[in-house]
Amino acid sequence: MNILNLIKRLNLKDTVKIAGAVILSNLIGYAQDTIQIKEVNKPKNAIVIIASPKADYNNGFKYFSDEIEKVKDAGYNVFVDTVSNKEEYFDAFRKGANSLDGKFDLYFGAAHGKPKYITLGRERKIDEDTASTKDYIKNKLKSYDLQKVDLSCYFNSEARGIQFSCSVADTSVGECFVQLLSNSLGIPIEAPTVKSSMPKLSKDLHIKYSRIESLFYMNSIKKEGFNSEGKGNFRSENGIYYPLLKNEKGEISVEWGDINSLSIPQDFDTSNVYHFRYNNIVREVRPQK
């Protein structure tokens, strides 16, 4: 049946209904496509909070502006605030959200730090008798300052964070600074576990060190027994260190380069076998609530 015969068999009302339905369907599809495009192109927001230059005792953050440019190059609208105390730090989130008119997709913090705090500012303490600088008072943001502060309302669901501060993600500390910060912001945060030079951001906005720096700052912990791969070490009374390999059957042999031919020494004792566990110098901490 051709189109003309179909139209003749349909009355005018039916024809109008069909045409209207087709037009409406096309409009709905167009609207959905437009909404999806807008969602894909939705701008990303980043908040960058930097400690006061007075707290930068060694000029470690002198070229931090280069790292901020990387965030902009990655397509983020960036709000930058320099703070000198914890009150200014907390208020930066409100100011940033108002400035960018929306929630954040990235947090980026920079300050000198220790496992349980970061230093935001430094003030001179004057000796009243000599009117000279006696000491400096550090304005710190400590782990416990974050315990009852919920800033998660400022972040989108897929947001993440970066904290450029020495050892704030130290694995040997129960509630390190970054763990409490992650809980407060409600986002995963990447940060150094050791005291180090200022790292850099990769193009995909992750903390990176050069290979030499990674080897230099990597710390190790001596552990008893073989590791999960069956590798271990033994120091004999003859002064030789024996790298060992324990296979699936529990058989132990010397395994390492040119000394594979060496046999296990007579004074070998499995209770004296040890291995080293190397800690990553950067780790991501997730919220715990």
What is the pLDDT at residue 7? 47
- 120's CB contacts (< 8 A; 6+ apart) are 51, 52, 55, 83, 84, 85, 86, 88, 89, 111, 139, 140, 141
Average pLDDT over every residue of 200-223: 73
Question: 5 or 159, which is more confident?
Answer: 159
Q: What is the pLDDT of residues 9-36, one digit of tens each?
A: 555 455 555 555 555 556 556 555 544 5
- The second-level CATH assignment, the architecture, of 44-219+281-285 is 3-Layer(aba) Sandwich (3.40)
Give the separation between CA 123 and CA 143, rounded to whole angstroms.
21
What local confidence, expressed as pLDDT, does residue 265 receive?
A: 87
Segment 51-71, tens digit of pLDDT: 999 999 889 898 999 999 999
| Residue of 76 and 125 predicted with greater confidence | 76
Q: Say whether pLDDT at 275 is over 70.
A: yes
- Averaged pLDDT for residues 239-268: 80
pLDDT of 210 strictly over 70 = no
Answer yes or no: are the C-beta atoms of 52 and 83 closer than 8 Å: yes
By CB atoms closer than 10 A (0-12, 13-18, 19+), residue 288 is exposed
Checking if the pLDDT of 200 tops 80, the result is: yes
Q: State residue 227's pLDDT score.
A: 86
Rg (CA), the chain: 30
pLDDT of residue 43: 83
- Domain boundaries in the chain? 3-36, 44-219+281-285, 226-272
pLDDT at 5 over 70: no
Q: Return d(Cα 162, Cα 108) in angstroms, integer.
A: 5
The pLDDT tens digits of the residues spanning 167-185 come to 999 877 878 999 999 999 9
**The pLDDT of residue 216 is above 70:** no
Three-state SS across the chain? CCHHHHHHHCCHHHHHHHHHHHHHHHHHHHHHHHHHHHHHCCCEEEEEEEECHHHCCCCCCCCCHHHHHHHHHCCEEEEEEEECCHHHHHHHHHHHHHHHCCCEEEEEEECEEECCEEEEEEEEEECCCCCCEEEEEEEEEEHHHHCCCCCHHHEEEEEEEEEECCCCCCCCCCCCHHHHHHHHHCCCEEEECCCCCCCEECCCCCEECCHHHHHHHCCEEEEECCCCCCEEEEECCCCCEEEEEECCCCCEEECCHHHCCCCCCCCCCHHHCEEEEECCCEEEECCCC
pLDDT band at 219 (very low <50, low <70, confident <90, very high): low
